Structure 1
Amino acid sequence: MTIFNIKPIICFNRGSIEYLKNIKNKRVCIVTDPFMLKSGTADKIIDILKDNKVEYEIFSEIKPDPPIEIVAMGVNKMRIFKPDVVIALGGGSSIDATKSIIFFTIKILNTNGGNYKKPLFVAIPTTSGTGSEVTSFSVITMGGTKFPLINDELVPDIAIIDANLVKTVPQRITADTGMDVLTHAIEAYVSTKSSDYTDALAEKVVKLVFDYLLRAYRDGNDVLAREKLHNASCMAGMAFTNASLGINHSMAHTLGGKFHIPHGRANAILLPYVIEYNANLKSENETESGKKYANLSRILGLPCASTNEGVRSIIAAIKILMNATNTPMNLQEVNIDKLDFLNELENMVNDALNDKCTATNPRKTSKEEIAKLFEEVYGK
């Protein structure tokens, strides 16, 4: 039996943050990062809560790639305040950290017969990339290594996809997060757990990214492009929370943990190499993943007279998109020292093999193959 979970209520289109006006007579905890406070973005939520005379507290200590120590601080805040509603505001780091904070708070408060009920969880993304607002994934950093926590209890109850909150996202972050969306969709599409339901979402997302990422990158005030990418990010999250991912993310997790490369950028760098590896173009037999990659080329109107041509077309199109958004093509271009890379290679290979995303990669891999792939991604 296969299950497709569409739990979150999704409020989308510009101005959807107004949904928060429905929150009354509750204790609310806002989890965010310092920039959301400094920029005034958090005020949009605070003003609504004040108008409704809602008691609230703010935990604004979230950092990129949230370490377990920050999660522990958030748990302590929650343990004391015991909110009825938790609102996560920010990018993937804020939403991922909030998931873990809620998860561990419930475990702690309900040890030895406690009866603290899970708070209503509202996720409001301010970047168009992770899709964390609709997924059961939370990635936390421990000792320089990123660990994905996967549990259905992590899925938010409500996701607010308001394009007004992403109009000021910088150009570089727009590119990185947009490529993250594309990677989510493509990995979900070829995952061993893909289905008709997840395929439909993934195909739409790939089309939206190719249609609108460059527009948003070149003109941040193109609200239609922003809105389409914001929707695409959420839809990609719906696809991969049900179909899971693959080695692209397994390798990106450890690369980000070891060398502090932004997650979306790491995914983008890996993507052309992983597609070629999964399609196994050197084999005489066509692979199922190769056929699906080729189908994406058909959807995009790219040359696809054969499976091999279709795979090469989608790889070429991704590289063109990367070049147009000034995204690095290999690890040398993000200034990773070769000796440092080689010193970490064995650890990264082991991390990638043990990552939960590897289990649903369409091509079964080995330690030697992952090592070779990492070396290819580093560049000559």
Structure 2
Amino acid sequence: MKRFKLSTEVLFSEDAIDALLEEKDENAVLITDKFMVDSGMADIILKKLSNCKEVSVFSEVVPDPPMDLIERGIAFLQDKDCDVVVALGGGSSIDAAKAIVYMAKKIDEKQNPDNQKKIKLIALPTTSGTGSEVTQFAVVTDSKTGVKIPLIDESLMPDIAILDPELVKSAPPFITADTGMDVITHALEAYVSETASDCSDCLAEKAAELAFEFLPRAYRNGYDIKARDKMHRASCLAGMAFNLVNLGVNHGIAHALGAIFHIPHGRANALVLPYVIEFNADMAREGAKHSNDAAKKYQKMARIVGLPAPTPKVGVANLIAEIQRLLKYMDRPQCMSECGVSVEEFNKHREEIVRRALADACTQANPRKVTAEDINKILDHIAK
């Protein structure tokens, strides 16, 4: 049996942040990072929360939020008797807010089993990439070991996601490119996931269609508000898709590359995406006469994004070529040395990358079963 459920209310288009004016007579906490405060972006949100009884700011979020930060955030919410949390920022800020609210609720359940307080969570993404505003996932980091801890629970999903393109237009081109490739990877991996369904497919198809069309425009001109709006929607749709059906080995490898070499997540995804598509489609195998299901879906996706795809083999080849063309256009790294990692350093960690990728929860949904040898062959393409 398969399920389809979307529990987050999504508000989008210009002036969507005006919805915050509807928050009244509440104690609100804005969870964000120092950059959002210093840049003045937090002040914009605080003005929209002017009808609240009291508004406080927790601005300690850092990339890969550690558990001690989550603990400080929980104490902050409790001290402010918080009714509503507004998460402002990229994936780290939204993940941190989700984890803080989730764990605060767990603590409250133990301390006050007969009088549990509901904290509303509103997510305002400032990048178009992670889709965290509509997913039941959050990742925090063990403060002592550095190991990333995935949290997966339906109650992690924000109550409201606000997609306002004004919050994204100042993102620099390299951030736009990296996060945009994360959107494309989310859409493609969800589309060929072992657990994909008609419901997730429609979300992934539209996400990819929007991303392939509007990512180059958003990269070229960050103040192209239509492109920003469409990429924000693409990110959200792709997030909904993979929230339903998981991802694949592309993310398994990217998580390992990010953890070991601290490569931005979207950039790590983009590095291996062409070679994961090639592997999943299994079109390069000598003597292959029949297309597998993944190849046929890539063929369909190629058509959806406007590429010639008369056969699975041609469709797969054109989809890969278009991704590589887009990466070149946006001046994205296409090997590890271009990410500042030497061949020697990369090869030193090969076994660890493979081990982590095989153990990653995302890899389990890949359409083709993956071995250590398969991952090493994918890594060969970027090991230069």
TM class, shorter-length: over 0.9
Quote the RMSD (CA, aligned, Å). Answer: 1.5
CA contact (8 A) 1:330 1:378 kept: yes
CA contact (8 A) 2:23 2:52 kept: no
TM-score by length of 2: 0.95
Matched, 1:8 2:36: no
Specify every segment of 5 or more residues in structure 1 that has no aligned partner in the other structure, as ranges. Answer: none
Q: Which residue of 1 aligns with 2:21?
A: 21
CA contact (8 A) 2:26 2:52 kept: no
CA contact (8 A) 1:28 1:87 kept: yes
> How far apart, CA to CA, are the structure 1 residues paired with 2:220 and 2:71?
39
CA contact (8 A) 1:139 1:146 kept: yes
Query: Amino acid of the residue matched to residue 163 of structure 1?
Result: P
Q: Which residue of 2 aligns with 1:298?
A: 303
CA offset at residue 53 of structure 1? Answer: 4.5
Q: 1:371 to 1:70 in 2, by over 3 A?
A: farther
Query: Amino acid of the residue matched to residue 74 of structure 2?
Result: V
Matched, 1:332 2:337: yes
Specify every segment of 5 or more residues in structure 2 that has no aligned partner in the other structure, as ranges. Answer: none
Report 1:1-380 matches (<5 A). 1-50=1-50, 52-114=51-113, 115-142=115-142, 143-283=145-285, 284=288, 285-379=290-384
SS in 1 for 2:183: helix
CA offset at residue 346 of structure 1? Answer: 1.7
> How far apart, CA to CA, are the structure 2 residues paired with 1:344 and 1:274?
20
> How far apart, CA to CA, are the structure 2 residues paired with 1:103 and 1:351?
26
> How far apart, CA to CA, are the structure 2 residues paired with 1:326 and 1:120?
40
CA offset at residue 60 of structure 1? Answer: 0.4
- Mean Cα deviation higher: 343-352 or 355-364: 343-352
Q: State the identity %.
A: 47
- Mean Cα deviation higher: 146-155 or 253-262: 146-155
Q: Deviations over 1:39-85 (max 9, x none)?
A: 111112211223x1521211101112222232222122223333111
Runs (4+) off by over 4 Å: none
> How far apart, CA to CA, are the structure 2 residues paired with 1:68 and 1:370?
31
> How far apart, CA to CA, are the structure 2 residues paired with 1:69 and 1:375?
37
CA contact (8 A) 1:32 1:94 kept: yes
SS in 1 for 2:161: strand
> How far apart, CA to CA, are the structure 2 residues paired with 1:27 and 1:122?
13
SS in 2 for 1:87: strand
Q: 1:113 to 1:221 in 2, by over 3 A?
A: closer
Q: Deviations over 1:343-363 (max 9, x none)?
A: 222222221111111111111
CA contact (8 A) 1:250 1:357 kept: yes
SS in 2 for 1:302: coil
> How far apart, CA to CA, are the structure 1 residues paired with 2:296 and 2:105?
44
CA contact (8 A) 1:146 1:254 kept: no
Q: Deviations over 1:176-218 (max 9, x none)?
A: 1111111110011000111111111111111111111111111
> How far apart, CA to CA, are the structure 1 residues paired with 2:47 and 2:30?
13
SS in 2 for 1:29: strand
- Mean Cα deviation higher: 224-233 or 142-151: 142-151
TM-score by length of 1: 0.96
> How far apart, CA to CA, are the structure 1 residues paired with 2:268 and 2:297?
23
CA offset at residue 148 of structure 1? Answer: 2.8
- Mean Cα deviation higher: 316-325 or 113-122: 113-122
CA contact (8 A) 2:27 2:52 kept: no
CA contact (8 A) 1:62 1:97 kept: yes
> How far apart, CA to CA, are the structure 1 residues paired with 2:305 and 2:362?
27
> How far apart, CA to CA, are the structure 2 residues paired with 1:248 and 1:263?
11
- Mean Cα deviation higher: 98-107 or 5-14: 98-107
CA contact (8 A) 2:253 2:357 kept: yes
CA offset at residue 112 of structure 1? Answer: 4.7
> How far apart, CA to CA, are the structure 2 residues paired with 1:176 and 1:107?
34
> How far apart, CA to CA, are the structure 2 residues paired with 1:111 and 1:53?
28
Q: 1:331 to 1:72 in 2, by over 3 A?
A: same
CA offset at residue 117 of structure 1? Answer: 2.3
Q: 1:372 to 1:314 in 2, by over 3 A?
A: same
CA offset at residue 251 of structure 1? Answer: 1.0
- Mean Cα deviation higher: 10-19 or 348-357: 348-357
CA offset at residue 113 of structure 1? Answer: 4.4
